[in-house]
C-alpha cells in the first residue's frame, strides 16, 4: 500500500485477518444522538475473535519470525484482549506462546482467560501486581526460557511498538478509502486507548494523508506508563521513522483524555452502562466495560454537550469477552434498568 510519496508497507507482515474489516453507518445511534456516527468494525475478523491488536501482531510477528523466534512472551491483565490475540495468532502460526497475567485471580476460567488456554498458551498468573512489576516479572520469564534454549521474542505489552503502530497508519488510510466508497468521510475518530500504538498509528496516518481529522483517544488504562502522552509520542515517531521519515509528530498532534477512565483500568466509570445499552439495543453491537464502552461513553457525552463534530467514526477496537466474566456480568446486568424486569 502506498499513499502519496510514502510506501507504508515496506515491513515484514503476516496476514492474520484474511479480509478487510467493514465500515458501517450506525443510523439508529446517529438518530438518538443527533450526530452522524459510523463504526470501523475491527471487532470482526478471523483469528482469535479479532480486535485491533491483530493488526499490530501482523507486523510484530512478521518481524519476530524474520528474527528466527519460535516462542513469543508477552504480558497483560487476565482480561487483556492483546494477550488473547497473541495466543490465537501464535497458535495459527505454529509458534509457542507464554502469557504473564496480572490482576485478580479468576474464580472461573472464563472470558479471555478461557480463550488464552484454548489457544494453547502457557499461562503464568502472577496476581495483583503493578504494571512495572509485571514488566519485570515478564523479563524474568524471558530469561528463564532463553536459558532453557528457547528462541524468544518479547512482545511488548499491547504490541505497543513503532512497528505495531505502522499498522494503524495503514488502517487510517484503509478507513478513508472505505468511507469514500460509500460517499462519506469522517471528521472525528474516537477509540479506546491503552498502550498507545493504535492512537499513535492513526495520528501518523492522518499526517501522511494531510488531513485535519480530530482523533480522540479515550484512555482506559492510564497507569500503564508514568507519562502517557510522552510514550504515545515516542511510538508515533518510531512508526514515522519506519514508513514516513519526513514526518515528525508533535505532542500537540495527540488528543487523549482520561475523563472517561472512571476508577481505573477495568473499573466502573460513568456512562459505561448506557453505552453498552445503546449500542446493543440500537445497533446489535457489543461493547465491553473494560475497553470499548468507555469510548462510546465519550461519544454519547460529547454529542449531548454539542462538542462532537460529525461525521464520527467510532473505531471498534474489539473486546466483548469481559461481558462473560463473573467480574462484570452481574454488574452490567444490574446497571441497565430495562433488564431489571426480566425474571431469571
Residues 106-134: tens digit of each pLDDT: 778 888 889 999 999 999 999 999 989 99
The answer to whether 61 touches 85, Cβ cutoff 8 Å, is no
Q: What is the pTM of this model?
A: 0.94
Q: What is the pLDDT of residues 305-324, one digit of tens each?
A: 999 999 999 999 998 888 98
The average pLDDT across 51-56 equals 91
HSE-CB for 332 with a 13 A CA cutoff: 23
Rounded CA gap, 107 and 237, in Å?
42
Q: Is the pLDDT of residue 325 over 90?
A: no
**177 against 104, higher pLDDT:** 177
What pLDDT does residue 229 have?
95
Catalytic residue among 30, 77, 80, 159: 80
Task: Based on the residue annotation, tell me whether 80 is a catalytic residue of this protein.
Answer: yes
Cell of 134: 509485571
Which of these, 81, 286, 326, 113, lies nearest to 193 by C-alpha position? 81
CB 278 within 8 A of CB 296: yes
Would you give the distance in Å from CA 30 to the centre of its chain?
23
Give the whole-angstrom CA distance, residue 191 versus residue 292.
7
Q: Could you read off the pLDDT of 213-265 as tens digits, one per residue?
A: 999 999 999 888 889 999 999 999 999 999 999 999 999 999 999 999 999 99
Helices 197-209 and 228-243: angle between axes, nearest 10 degrees: 50
Residue 236's closest CA among 162, 157, 174? Answer: 162
Of 35-39, 205-209, 211-215, 338-342, which gets the smallest average pLDDT?
338-342
pLDDT at 69: 98
Residue 51 binned pLDDT confidence (cut-offs 50, 70, 90) = confident
Amino acid at each position: 500500500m502506498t499513499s502519496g510519496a510514502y510506501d507504508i508497507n515496506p515491513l515484514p507482515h503476516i496476514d492474520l485477518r484474511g479480509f478487510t474489516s467493514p465500515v458501517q453507518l450506525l443510523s439508529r445511534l446517529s438518530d438518538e444522538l443527533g450526530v452522524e456516527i459510523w463504526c470501523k468494525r475491527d471487532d470482526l475478523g478471523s483469528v482469535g475473535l479479532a480486535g485491533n491488536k491483530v493488526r499490530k501482531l501482523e507486523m510484530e510477528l512478521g518481524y519476530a519470525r524474520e528474527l528466527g523466534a519460535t516462542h513469543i512472551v508477552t504480558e497483560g491483565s487476565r482480561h487483556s484482549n492483546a494477550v488473547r490475540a497473541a495466543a490465537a495468532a501464535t497458535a495459527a502460526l505454529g509458534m509457542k506462546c507464554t502469557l504473564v497475567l496480572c490482576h485478580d485471580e479468576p474464580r472461573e476460567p472464563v472470558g479471555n482467560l478461557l480463550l488464552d488456554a484454548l489457544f494453547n498458551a502457557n499461562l503464568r498468573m502472577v496476581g495483583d501486581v503493578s504494571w512495572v512489576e509485571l514488566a519485570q516479572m515478564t523479563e524474568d520469564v524471558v530469561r528463564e526460557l532463553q536459558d532453557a534454549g528457547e528462541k524468544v521474542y518479547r512482545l511488548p505489552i499491547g504490541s505497543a511498538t513503532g512497528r505495531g503502530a505502522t499498522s494503524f497508519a495503514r488502517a487510517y488510510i484503509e478507513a478513508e478509502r472505505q468511507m469514500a466508497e460509500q460517499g462519506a468521510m469522517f471528521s472525528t475518530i474516537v477509540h479506546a486507548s491503552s498502550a498507545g500504538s493504535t492512537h499513535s498509528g492513526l495520528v501518523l496516518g492522518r499526517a501522511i494523508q494531510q488531513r485535519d481529522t480530530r482523533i480522540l483517544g479515550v484512555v482506559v488504562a492510564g497507569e500503564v506508563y508514568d507519562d502517557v502522552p510522552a510514550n504515545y509520542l515516542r511510538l508515533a515517531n518510531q512508526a514515522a521513522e519506519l514508513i514516513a521519515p519526513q514526518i515528525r509528530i508533535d505532542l500537540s498532534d495527540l488528543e487523549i483524555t482520561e475523563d472517561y477512565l472512571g476508577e481505573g483500568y477495568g473499573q466502573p466509570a460513568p456512562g459505561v452502562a448506557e453505552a453498552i445499552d445503546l449500542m446493543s439495543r440500537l445497533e446489535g453491537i457489543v461493547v465491553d466495560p473494560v475497553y470499548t464502552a468507555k469510548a462510546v461513553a465519550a461519544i454519547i457525552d460529547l454529542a449531548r454537550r454539542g462538542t462532537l463534530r460529525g461525521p464520527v467514526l467510532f473505531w471498534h477496537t474489539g473486546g466483548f469477552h469481559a461481558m462473560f466474566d463473573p467480574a462484570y456480568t452481574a454488574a452490567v446486568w444490574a446497571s441497565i434498568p430495562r433488564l431489571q424486569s426480566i425474571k431469571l
